Structure 1
């Protein structure tokens, strides 16, 4: 009995000893975890992966659905000459944008770096094409896009205040500048806050288009189909007209490549990148087609072309006293697009600066907010400067002409990688015919307008792209240093409270 008691006491003591040891190890492990996590929060300075699947879809939808569907229908139907060919152009633009997005998904998962086309062109063709893309995008493409969005916001926001006359140009420019300033502040303040705003505004965008679509369905149910009958009657467009119609339509679809600009901030990019792209493209293409059909139930092609604001005119004809909903929905939609455009644009100069292609300040992030504040601020400043000309059509043509040179180059990089690196890991792989189609379309979109009707601004666009070499050769290739620039960088670093990544 005593032996049994001693044995029992020994077992209990051993058990208690194990429990005590496990308890001490658990406490030690927790303490080590706390110690290791604290320095990571305090010392690690880098962009965080805070964009999930919903945030990714919201970014694409917010970037795509904006001013284009409310402004571009006029351009598409003007150049195509008939309702039927115009609707086919909208569908074709959606298919082409989807092909481009799928091609970008393959190279984006192969080279999971932020900056959109920049890291892809850098690895495929070297520093000069990559630099020229970053130069053109940072100084013209992205700021002009944000400027167009700001002007469109002000046009719709102010139109109810001036129902019987043109909106004063100065008022439009002032409101557009304020909008740009607000979206720059939000994007500098917090990535998480930006993605939340994008999600909220994406829902608003979809609702605004659904209002138009439901109105169109009601009109069709009431027999308003005359503007859709004999829909292919009209002038036959030429090569130049088709290319310009695609420019206008693709402007409405612009934003399909936005996730490639923030891959380093995307959670599980190998899964979320392709899923978000496919989901967003199907959703937006369907909404665009139904919205254009709805427009044609309320007005003829000629009436649409003469409308100063297509969405507003549709609201007056269909919604009556509730027509104020349309300008409100449009301004909501365009503001969300401004957020998405600004969110992605800053990542180009930020990534290029990390490679030593741009001023070092642009590669710095805010020490508390962890946002690429200097790059975002530069995009906003240039956009405000571009608001001054206030010429929508010229900006769209210029933007599209340059943009498709680099879209074609990026899809050519995909084909190049297939030939030179056939065994490279590809989490996403598309049929080779898809990037080939995008490359052919890009060549047509770049050269067809020039051949059919040469204009000086196309030459100016090419010269401006090449003008970037004036800065590349001395400061990047020969690595020339300037003490004055260094002092300015130090001043900006202190003023903006930014530093380089750890």
Structure 2
């Protein structure tokens, strides 16, 4: 039964995107660009890319009315193998690790004021992060409507904080604090790898532009509300991000900005806690759909008869996220997550292009110009290769091996449908 309306859909997009990323990523984007001007250009370009990707997903979401985000699109476009590899990589590692990153960020920001002059103990940070994950899992298990209400409340609170920051910046600019914006391109860095890494970090803040597609089956009037929520939500986030960065630069020089802890302090009030609530709400839908299709253990497709929530999938994702808290290396997890995520973003938009020729019979209430998915695929290739070229790291190799390693389970248990319990019983 549909329960998510237009307002909740917009809040889902805005609330998922505006989180810890806008407070974690600005320094990394500035480091990759070297100056205020190209830094703001990267933020704007990330918004354009997110909008193009979301428009592609709007066509896919209204053409294939199934929950699970990229999973059903890869299934229809390329068959079960790539769909399985996506669900394998996403359910077991990517989404729980993303949830863990947000929970760890929330825990670090919440504990830092209690340890002035030094970093909080790791055991404190990990325990707070685990508590955050448990609370959010319980909220999502209780009710879809409850999760929606909490989501809408936190989205309103986050937007209020954003408005306060933006208005403060405008006031400072009106008072003449424009010295940091007068020569915005001085000292800019333009290398291939550095700009790519800047986009990597900027897009981490924008990640969430595709989240409404994870609950297509629960969206009221999706042919109207899905594209409308995208058109309203993502440009709103883009404007907010640019204005927030301008507000930062109205107070701090680039050097002071890179050295200042103020951004982390602000994020305590607006980002990670609500962001992690929304992430679990959407991500478990993929686990549920994969279980329904037989690509995960069947229990993952079960729904609570009383509360109409996918409780097994919620609990499974929560437990995996707690496991990923143990390494507590946020930077490595971000690189690991972003690398694999943009592989599948590119493949999903490629599936859209392929289905224009192979699935012409499908109805397309929303149809984007073919140039848009082509551009997204090209940029995705760049984003996957740029960090490897600029700074090769073992996690990229590990990620690739892990994705391909899913075939070790796919071939015997899904392709050949080997039933190990039946084998044991026969003995």
TM-score by length of 2: 0.96
Partner residue of 1:85?
38
Match of 2:312 in 1: 374
- Asked whether 1:217 is paired with 2:170, we answer yes
Matches of 2:261 and 2:410 in 1, distance apart?
43
Does residue 294 of structure 1 match 2:247?
A: yes
Q: What does the per-residue CA deviation read over 1:322-358, in whole Å, with 9 as the maximum and x for residues that have no partner? A: xxxx35522xx32211111001111111111111111
Distance 2:423 2:272 in 1: 37
Q: Does the CA-based 8 Å contact 2:54-2:209 persist in structure 1?
A: yes
Q: Do the aligned partners of 2:32 and 2:189 also contact (CA within 8 Å) in 1?
A: no
Deviation at 1:365, TM superposition (A): 0.8
- Note the alpha carbon deviations across 1:33-64, whole angstroms, 9 max, x for none: xxxxxxxxxxxxxxx31111111111111110
Select which of 285, 296, 313 maps to 1:358.
296
Counterparts of residues 287-436 of structure 1 (less than 5 Å):
287-312=240-265, 326=266, 329-330=269-270, 333-436=271-374
Q: Matched residues in 1 for 2:96 and 2:232: separation?
A: 27
Contact 1:71–1:309 (Cα < 8 Å) also in 2: no
Counterpart mapping for 1:199-278 below 5 A: 199-278=152-231
Which residue does the alignment assign to 1:500? Answer: none
- Secondary structure of the corresponding residue to residue 49 of structure 1: coil
The C-alpha deviation readout for 1:348-398, integer Å capped at 9, x for no partner, is 111111111111110111121111111111111111111111222211111
Contact 1:151 1:173 in 2 (8 A): yes
Q: Of the two, which has the highest radius of gyration? A: 1
Would the aligned equivalents of 1:263 and 1:269 in 2 still touch at CA under 8 Å?
yes
Kept after mapping to 2: 8 A contact 1:138/1:348: yes
Is this contact kept in 2: 1:354–1:363, CA < 8 A? yes
Cα distance in 2 for residues equivalent to 1:452 and 1:327: 29
1:102 aligns to 2:59 (yes or no):
no
Q: Deviations over 1:435-489 (max 9, x none)?
A: 11110100101122223443222111100101111111111111122339999xx
Gaps of 5+ in 1: 1-47, 313-325, 488-502
Deviations 1:81-111 (A, max 9, x none): 1111111000000000010001000011100
Equivalent-residue separation in structure 1 for 2:358 and 2:159 (angstroms):
42
Aligned residue number for residue 135 of structure 1: 88
Aligned length: 425
Q: Using CA pairs below 8 Å that are at least 6 residues apart, which structure has the higher relative contact order?
A: 2
Q: Are 2:23 and 2:267, in contact at CA under 8 Å, matched by a contact in 1?
A: no
Please give the alpha-carbon distance, in whole angstroms, between the structure 2 residues aligned to 1:407 and 1:480: 31
CA RMSD of aligned residues (A): 1.7
Given that residues 66 and 337 in structure 1 are in contact (C-alpha distance below 8 angstroms), is that contact kept between their aligned partners in structure 2?
yes
State the SS of the aligned residue for 1:358.
coil
Q: TM-score normalized by structure 1?
A: 0.82
Counterpart CA distance in 2 for 1:228 and 1:148 is 32
For residues 246 and 122 of structure 2, the distance between their equivalents in structure 1, rounded to whole angstroms, comes to: 32
Structure 1 window deviating more from structure 2 (173-182 vs 448-457): it is 448-457
